[in-house]
Structure 1
């Protein structure tokens, strides 16, 4: 997808997956378009313009995370989602906030690497086929026996041996040409070959992941890898599987990882997006007795990253000045004003997301490209059953979801997953044994399965 989409086009793309929330979509679309505008400015002015970070306020399940995720996919930008509650203040056990930038760079490296590997795919596949041919028709190893130096003057058989070796080489070459032709025609896809590959065993330094010491683990791993030999292992694969594995292996050799790292760092700096969820959970609020280790301390640590600082990663230093930060929180127990003032000022765009109505629930069930009813219909079609939902049944499902959200905790669109699972529980269980081709879900069927539970507040609290 091109980076020069207009705000209107961005909103239209988001509408395919997310229902409602017009204001939030407009805010992120403008933020994305401003990036494109900034890239067309002179270098002097470009450095002065920083992204306007966004704070999304709204209950769970209304589309906060999905908007940011779909937006990043839309433009192929590096994107990471982190929970503010997982971080602790620097100096305590746990992940420090700088790890979010390191995660972003890792994502950027993966994106750039995939693009580069796609560019050399044809060449890599050709080299992989050559390796498969070599595996299927190996050359005979020459026997180098120690001979008396005087034999070169007296041994009359030397010329005959050379001729025999040449004939054998010609035979191997002809066999390889024949096998290469059969490979190209797809006649050997199920043949088995033994492939030798680098052993990708988890490193002993992986135990440091998530403990706030990832960077130290990476540095130690890089240092030890220079001294420790690479292990390899043999795998028995079909030709089709071997081609995939060897193409990947050859593509890795063809790309320049230094160039990938450099491009990835630039991509992360200029178009990276970090989504910080549960930002409301690190506000102090009125609870002064709780520890600051995962609250105000984390806010103070996040502040310099959002303001713009340089974070050291294994791929080089990364400047966070132009990374777009999108923070989100339900703010049930706290208010945005409970965040420290300096952090509030770094999120100038505030967007309040709407609570979902009955009409929104109906649209969520039917309209998006990945609508829930389409998913459940597709799952049951694998059993040879075509499930149809009447309009009255869809409306009733939406009403039940809305009512349960009103009476118990409001979990937004996620309530539909619970309700549909309960509704189709018996049908999913009996599907392999049913001989009917088409089943219609009616309003009466929905009432029969859900009404008694929805009306009983105690039951709905636990079941729905």
Structure 2
């Protein structure tokens, strides 16, 4: 090697040399890989308890932080996969819970992130209650630690709001803390309306308590924090304005302001002009319904601007005229005949000729009854007119909800005033004292839709959707969701003074439902508890329903027309409940030709909507006859009625709007091949 070997030096070096650390490290790496592989095999075989034990050993066999985190996550995943089964044995449940808590705590020690805290909170606050253990207070403790570390994480505030809300009955401070968390989340995510609306929905625009003012609304507090400066993003303002307009009646002035400013910032926003038209209508209704409203505010100015921007026809009422309209008497109105009402229905509803005739008579009867109150005196029982509540029977997608909305629209036209309208899910209504919606909630919703105007509320329209889900169940017992729910709905539907609960705090208001029109709708299809309504009618007629029936085969349309009160009683409804819906209108599944007509003929037709969008961009849209046929055929296959047309048209036109608007194109011709090709691209 150049120099002669120094044997003493070599001996000294050799004495201190060792490969032990390398060998040990290699053995540990091999052990980690082997144990990890065994854990993965057990995991894939579904042996989650063995896999978790193996992953725990693997985690102690490595010095790598990344690998220890990975093994800890796998241990947690094993626990999740074991699910509630792990807690069925009381003796082992406590140990299983301890293991899960240990894994969550270990992961947070190894990697302290908001996501890991949220995972621990979800385990305690959501997964444990499903297994029968109420661990929400413990989840709150973990969350409070998380917020002390990550005070600016909106997701943590949203999760804590949910936990405080769940546990507020156990601690008087939790309600205030829940409200504070929601306000903080709004402050941190103000520019992300999708997040806030998904997490909190209408709660953002609810007062802290029924007695509180609008200043207690989280959204208003958020605006105050921002010194009332609206966002400078048009899309954000549009989303907030749209949601307020549809869901928060008290915030109509703010909704108008947001939509107006959104349009000023970006006139190309999809749907903005339609929302402006709604804002104009609801803004006027708000002023009329609130005589104490400060007319010197900017609302009326914005409404005048919106009227011009949205091309709304007619003269805008003066301030005094709006006040007078709110107090006008219905007795001065001349009710149009049923034939004229049917013509109005034709403007909105394609097909359903028999149903429209029946509904026209029902609306005529209701309008005559409402406008004649006070003329002859309610005490004259011989002259008293009964309510004309309407029952819509028909399959999914036949247009029951749209028909109910149209009824409210026609009534507004007949009576010359706004008609508050609300849709309530009757399937959630239960007997008094049972968890679920109560029979007064549809009336309460109508009250809020009417802007808390009692007089307007008492002349509104309520649509009880999914009413067939409240049929009596077979087998006896206390039928809380069937006959019990029907019993609770009798008084409001018939017409009486209903004490409507406005909040959880016991606040209520008496509302007279005598002149509220109730429209109920249902498919009355076959369920686990019995035959469909049409099957029952077919049997009573001595025939059979459906394809392949031998002998006297009856069509669904014929059977719907033949439904009698007794058939509804046999289906599972109380005689008293059936009697409160004297008008029964059968709706049928739409044909392809009717779907094609819906594309262009009624007011608000979907193709008119898209033509308007393209016209705003100076692009002429032409949709050929074979294209309309192809759209109708595609929609018919989706079996969702008229709403299927919207789904198909979104696929066909939305991409073209994105590609063409703002470019040099001046024309778009859509033919049958165009529709088929674009529909196929979406895998339909």
Cα distance, 1:319 vs structure 2: 3.0
In the TM superposition, what are the counterparts of 1:187-206 in structure 2 within 5 Å?
none
* Separation in 2, partners of 1:3, 1:450: 49
Cα distance, 1:85 vs structure 2: 2.0
Residues 50 and 322, structure 1, Cα contact 8 Å, conserved in 2: no
* Separation in 2, partners of 1:80, 1:332: 24
Show the counterpart of 2:431: 89
Show the counterpart of 1:318: 511
Residues 473 and 482, structure 2, Cα contact 8 Å, conserved in 1: no
Aligned match of 1:332 in 525, 532, 539?
Answer: 525
Residues 619 and 667, structure 2, Cα contact 8 Å, conserved in 1: yes
Show the counterpart of 1:58: 394
* Separation in 1, partners of 2:420, 2:429: 21
Cα distance, 1:332 vs structure 2: 1.8
Deviation by residue 1:20-40 (Cα, 9 ceiling, x = unmatched) = 222222222212222343344
Residues 472 and 481, structure 2, Cα contact 8 Å, conserved in 1: no
**SS of equivalent to 1:4:** coil
Matched, 1:307 2:641: no
**Rg comparison, structure with higher value:** 2
Show the counterpart of 2:441: 99
TM-score, normalised relative to structure 1:
0.57
Show the counterpart of 2:621: 387
Show the counterpart of 1:272: 460
Show the counterpart of 1:178: none
Cα distance, 1:6 vs structure 2: 1.9
Q: 1:20 to 1:418 in 2, by over 3 A?
A: same
**SS of equivalent to 1:16:** helix
Q: 1:312 to 1:29 in 2, by over 3 A?
A: same
**SS of equivalent to 1:429:** helix
Q: 1:312 to 1:71 in 2, by over 3 A?
A: same
Deviation by residue 1:251-307 (Cα, 9 ceiling, x = unmatched) = xxxxxxxxxx5xx1xx544x3322111101222455x59994433321221123223
Deviation by residue 1:362-415 (Cα, 9 ceiling, x = unmatched) = 11001112110111222233444322101121122212322x14xxxx211111
Deviation by residue 1:316-375 (Cα, 9 ceiling, x = unmatched) = 533334432211011122434222333122222221102111110111001112110111
Cα distance, 1:97 vs structure 2: 0.9
Cα distance, 1:3 vs structure 2: 5.8
Q: 1:439 to 1:99 in 2, by over 3 A?
A: same
**SS of equivalent to 2:621:** strand
Show the counterpart of 2:676: 447
Cα distance, 1:438 vs structure 2: 0.4
Aligned match of 1:70 in 391, 406, 428?
Answer: 406
Q: 1:98 to 1:377 in 2, by over 3 A?
A: same
In the TM superposition, what are the counterparts of 1:145-184 in structure 2 within 5 Å?
none
Let me know the Cα RMSD of the aligned residues: 2.9
Unaligned runs of 5+ in 2: 1-329, 413-417, 501-506, 527-531, 534-567
Q: 1:362 to 1:69 in 2, by over 3 A?
A: same
* Separation in 1, partners of 2:676, 2:443: 49
* Separation in 1, partners of 2:365, 2:521: 21
Which structure: greater strand fraction? 1
Show the counterpart of 1:246: none
TM-score, normalised relative to structure 2:
0.40
Q: 1:380 to 1:349 in 2, by over 3 A?
A: same
Q: RCO higher in 1 or 2 (8 Å CA, sep ≥ 6)?
A: 1
In the TM superposition, what are the counterparts of 1:207-226 in structure 2 within 5 Å?
none
Show the counterpart of 1:31: 362
Cα distance, 1:100 vs structure 2: 1.8
Q: 1:289 to 1:390 in 2, by over 3 A?
A: farther
Show the counterpart of 1:21: 352
Unaligned runs of 5+ in 1: 113-260, 454-458
Deviates more, 1:302-311 or 1:325-334: 302-311
Cα distance, 1:45 vs structure 2: 4.1
**SS of equivalent to 2:366:** helix
